[in-house]
Amino acid sequence: MPNYILFKNARLFDGFSHSPAPDSWVLVKDDRIASVGRGNPAAPAQACVVDVAGQTVLPGLIDTHIHSLLMGDEGLQLFIAAGVTSARDCGGRLEGVKAVQRALAAGDKLGPRLYVCGPLLQGSVQALPEPFASAMLESVESIDAVPGKVRPLLDNEVDCIKLYFTLPTETGRRIISYVGGNVPVTGHLGWMRASEAVEAGISGLEHVSISPFQDICPLQHQWGAQPSMMSREWGEKLRLGWQEADLAEARTTNLIAQMAERQVAMGTLLSVDWMTWNGFENTRRDPDRRYIPPAVLARHRAMAEALGGGEDWDLHLPGFGGTHTGDPRKALEKQLEFCRLLYAAGGLIVGGTDAGGVSMPPPGLSLLREIEMLAVAIGETAALRAVTSQAARYLRKQRDVGSIAPGRFADLLVVDGDPLRDVRELRKLTAVYKGGVEYRPAAILAGIPANSNYPSDKVTGGY
Ligand SMILES: [Zn+2]
């Protein structure tokens, strides 16, 4: 006999609408949404009724950019605790990410529905140091190597192909044409320019701070054939380049127009810079800090021991300290402005976070920070669309996730507040449903071991 759940008296955000629909109901049958309506619900007598009067029901959130192999099981659970019911692994060795995907789908691990890209496709020059390199990268040494490297990924039914930093333009073009639109292709670009990738037919760009940079920054801050992003010099160029960029220049306005016309998604990953946005002292004392997963902490500890880290070693990107040249806040505000201009031009903004690759904010919770930053750039409703319906469309999974409509998976959130008025109200998440199964965020968080570097004596408040 089927299992029915009826949510009634909801303030409903379906993933699309510009204002919530009051007095709504949602009927779930097993793991899918059966019907949605307003007023008096028509439900089978045996339905389990959940009265959500005064609360908002919205689709489970989608993080379009995570690294599931870097965070351990505790990290995966955090997604559900934060209301993120779907995520795309945006770079990890194929066997590894496929194994995590299977374990999540079978219910052997608690975490989001996982879509996968497989490895990051770099050129012949190594883009990342260990331990990231062997967990995440695959080299495509030449144009001729493209079929041999890309065919097995398509045969293994990856959901996306991801181009990486040191991939030369010609090889990038060849990969995009070889994939032929069968799955989306996205890029964390460095050597290949965003404008070239858009012209070649790429579907998305990752990191607003990095992928469009070469088309936007003043010429003296462009990087050449730089082998790695893991250097202080590279970080300085990035910050100064953004700080001094003139977004009204023709090459920038052309890029924005082309991205909008072709609906190339901008995966924002603004929350990677949360510490700059939020301030270092606030971030030190942020209660989310206690949830940095043990696997991420262990990697940071090893990096700090090798590279020299201070007392707050758990907060910094490996290899980078807390000091900056230039004004990182100005650079970040310019990136928000780029998002605002792209959105105003009709472009596709989607939320992603690099969860697993960064420690703070922790997985899952980082998407809530991403949404806060996006809301500043494009407004509350557009920010929520960016992590629901728009993200699903970009991943080409809109028939399964990203909205509340008949036939979609019963992935939905119950929030004791109105996140369309203020996205920070997503923190008042009381229940998460994934495939019609209920989870309680507070219970999941209570089971995550606390970060021992977290200065709990100095902190007031909590999740
Ligand atoms: Zn990433």
In a domain, 432, yes or no: no
Greater model confidence, 78 or 449:
78
Mean pLDDT for the chain? 93
In a domain, 295, yes or no: yes
In a domain, 202, yes or no: yes
CA-closest candidate to residue 143, choices 120, 180, 162, 169: 169
Confidence of residue 460 (pLDDT cuts 50, 70, 90): very low
In a domain, 253, yes or no: yes
Q: How far apart are CA 88 and CA 332, in angstroms?
A: 24
Distance between Cα 67 and ligand 1 center (Å): 6
Distance between Cα 20 and ligand 1 center (Å): 33
Which residues are 182's β-sheet partners?
Answer: none
Residues 6+ apart with CB under 8 A from 400: 113, 392, 408, 409
pLDDT single digits (tens) 122-179: 998 888 877 778 889 999 999 999 999 999 999 999 999 999 999 999 999 999 999 9
**Full residue range of the structural domain in which residue 318 is found:** 61-403
pTM of the predicted protein model: 0.96
pLDDT for residue 458 is more than 70: no
Q: Hey, what amino acid is at 286?
A: D
Distance between Cα 352 and ligand 1 center (Å): 9
Confidence of residue 455 (pLDDT cuts 50, 70, 90): confident
In a domain, 427, yes or no: no
User: Which CATH number is 300's domain given?
Assistant: 3.20.20.140
Integer-rounded Cα Rg, in Å, for the chain is 21
In a domain, 32, yes or no: no
Distance between Cα 97 and ligand 1 center (Å): 14
**Other beta carbons within 10 Å of 122:** 27
Distance between Cα 73 and ligand 1 center (Å): 18
Distance between Cα 293 and ligand 1 center (Å): 17
Distance between Cα 48 and ligand 1 center (Å): 41
In a domain, 9, yes or no: no
pLDDT single digits (tens) 62-97: 999 999 999 999 999 999 999 999 999 999 999 999
* Total structural domains within the chain: 1
Strands 161-163 and 120-122: parallel
By three-state DSSP, how is residue 374 classified? helix
Report every protein residue that has its C-beta within 5 angstroms of ion ligand 1: 354, 357
pLDDT single digits (tens) 213-235: 999 998 888 887 765 666 777 88
In a domain, 320, yes or no: yes
